[in-house]
Amino acid sequence: MTGADDLPPAGNGSALRHAVDVEGIAMSALLAEAPRPRAVVVALHGGAVTSRYFDAPDQPRLSLLRTGAALGFTVLALDRPGYGSSAPYAAGMASVQRRVDLAYAAVDRLLEGRPRGAGVFVLGHSQGCVLAIQMAGDERGADLLGLEIAGIGRHHHPRAAAVLQTRMRDRLGRARAGSGTAMRDMIWGPDHLYPAGAAAGMYSPTPGYEGDEVRRWPREFPALAARVRVPVHCSLGDHERVWRSGPAALADIAALFTACLRVAVDEQAGGGHNLSLGLCALAYHLKVLSFAEECVLALQNALVNGDERAGAAAPIELAGG
């Protein structure tokens, strides 16, 4: 295991920002390249942040981009449609299919001419899991290596549900006093799980479509999950306060992925909602990259054996509980 600041630099020493044109829309991302990657990890951030979420400022040990590249994975952290360079075009992104198409096209453009190794593995965090699952459930999703979802669930934590109901009752934005602080504590707490200043500079305005997406998610999750066929890994922190967590909640989520080759779940010790910015980030990223490596090996076994379901495991796996 490397020391706190001893991880090799990502690619040429940094995670670089790129932007490409997709049908007249600028799509941006952070990219950390491995010279001969095992695979590409496409990371999709949650709500109200950007791709910087996956490259913790002044915390290289906690950066998914740098850890991934150091371990042989190219990592592409995409600014989701309506974020980053595409923010001015958010009004035209109300359609789910439009956002899925933009994400796939942006990934293809950003990786054009770059080695992909065994293929693309998609990681979503929080609201980014919605797009990640939509991409995996699309017909193009059959070509993905696998999927990681973190910081999302089937049912909100009771405290979060109460705050969200308060906000929904007040459509004019005059939320009950203290509701903003309560939500911040649920998303960014407890404080001892994060390095000082972890949330600094992370905030981004949210595109208009996201509010409806948040409200629809608990109803739509089961049908979306049932369309996913590639291996899935699901993670929740043991201090998650936005969604219900714990072994029972993880098993409930895993049971929705009825068509998957393999479903594994993990309760991350010392983790809050924002796993990739917490002090547990390295531990969490190593688990995800290990699962991605297993997906690469499963594909290699399938190619050798001529069996597309090689490496499949029907039982749900629970780790870290």
What pLDDT score was predicted for residue 236?
98
Check residue 180 and give its pLDDT. Answer: 60
Domain ranges in the chain? Answer: 16-156+190-319
For residue 146, what are the β-bridge partners?
Answer: 121
Mean residue pLDDT of the chain comes to 88
Residue 178 confidence class, pLDDT cut points 50, 70, 90: very low
Residue 13 banded pLDDT, cuts 50, 70, 90: very low
8 confidence band (pLDDT: 50, 70, 90): very low
pLDDT for 151 beyond 90? yes
Q: Who contacts 276 (Cβ-Cβ below 8 Å, separation ≥6)? A: 53, 54, 56, 62, 64, 125, 150, 284, 285
- For domain 16-156+190-319, the CATH superfamily is Alpha/Beta hydrolase fold, catalytic domain (3.40.50.1820)
Task: Provide the pLDDT for residue 17.
Answer: 95
Spatial strand order in the sheet of 120-125: 16-22, 25-32, 74-78, 40-44, 120-125, 146-150, 232-237, 262-268, 313-319
Least-confidence region, from 26-35, 43-52, 77-86, 198-207: 198-207
- How far is Cα 14 from Cα 16, in angstroms, rounded to an integer? 6
Give the pLDDT score at 301.
92
3-state SS assignment for residue 101:
helix
pLDDT band at residue 299 using 50, 70 and 90 as cut-offs: very high
| Per-residue model confidence (pLDDT) at position 183 | 75
Higher pLDDT: 185 or 320? It is 185
